[in-house]
Amino acid sequence: MVTRLLDDVGADGGAAVDTEVDRLQEWLGEVRVTPRFPTPLQKELAQG
Query: What is the mean pLDDT of the segment spanning 19-45?
Result: 89
The residue type of 17 is V
Q: pLDDT by residue (tens digit) across 10-27?
A: 999 999 999 999 999 999
Measured distance CA(26)–CA(23) in Å, rounded? 5
Hey, is 40 helix, strand or coil?
Answer: helix
Q: What is the pLDDT of residue 25?
A: 95
Residues 6 or more apart whose Cβ sits within 8 Å of residue 20: none
- The rounded Cα 11 to chain-centroid distance in angstroms is 17
